[in-house]
Structure 1
Amino acid sequence: MNGDLKIDELWSLKLKPSDLYNIERWPSDKPATGGGHTYIQVPKRLVADVLAFLREAYPDKGVPVILEVNNRARPDLEAERLEFWEKSSGRMRIARQNRHGQARLRAWSPEMGFPSLEQYQDTGDAATLLDSIGGLHIYLARAADGTVWAGYTVGNPSEADSQLPFADILWGDSPGGYWRYEAPTK
């Protein structure tokens, strides 16, 4: 996972079946009232972690925190804009992530191997899929040069990846979290 990228900070989030369903939902499956959410929800317990990574305070209503993000799987692609917005009850959302109605971050797209649902599949199907792959975490990693990279992991780490200092928040049952490199003190 780490490769030749020196990671200084990392934030991750384990996707729930409802998140996967909502970012995969087809236009024909739109709720009768409203459009249904098309974002990835950051639960309240992980908001402090994402804000630490973003190096921002909780955003005011109607004012997004914007991040330029590169694709870890395809570093040759141009950086993309990723928006974080406030949400009720102290939660946050990663906006515009439904692949059928918006331009989802390419690093989290089926073209990069990201798990997907077919038309007419629902939250139950999303749960079955996530169980079959051992879970799905999205992540943002800040490199030593300040660039931000997006990617995802599934299942459990390889033997080598399990030795990474942030492995505990990036695979398996972890809900996600924040990790920052701390230089050893003398």
Structure 2
Amino acid sequence: MASNPVTEMLSRNSNFVKNHKPSPRMQDFAPINRASGKGVIVISCSDPRVPCEKILGFDDEVSPGKINPIVIRNAGGRVSDAVRTIGVMQAIAAPGYIAVMHHTDCGMIHYPDKAVRKTLREISASEKSEFEGMEFGEINGSIGDSVKEDVAILSKSPFVRKGTQLVGLEYDVDTGKVRVVE
């Protein structure tokens, strides 16, 4: 009998537990991370083909003073969905860098807001007014353009601490290469 996804995840977790080392306590970790200036937020897509930590070479060990990425993932990696979390992370960890990473062949290229709304109407006609005016983060034009758009939004956001370095990245799902978007 095939297991369901939850059963499989819990089984994988039991393997994880065997080698787990407790993370530093937040009250110890946050001040050291703030002082180091090395903290980084990476905003990226929820697409499972885009494992940011692996792509950018971060390891699993979290420790004070080293680069410990805060990864925020959502459909399209759009900053509009990430702003609340960015604000909270600025308050807790004061990361010195924020990287916006979009990727080629993103679903938000192929499923514009109009298509998302159509599907939502089919799923829940009674909730139509809830999503009718929403923007879902469609990507028009190039990936580079969407990255620039999101970096520009962050540069004006009151949720981003002055002096935070902003960088735009484009990940190519075919080659695995990440390039800086100027």
TM-score tier by shorter-chain length is: under 0.3
- TM-score, normalised by the number of residues in structure 1: 0.24
- Who wins on radius of gyration, i.e. which is larger? 2
- Return the structure number with greater relative CO, CA threshold 8 A, min gap 6: 1
> Higher helix fraction: Structure 1 or Structure 2?
2
Question: What's the TM-score once normalised by structure 2's chain length?
Answer: 0.24
Which structure dedicates a bigger proportion of its chain to strand? 1
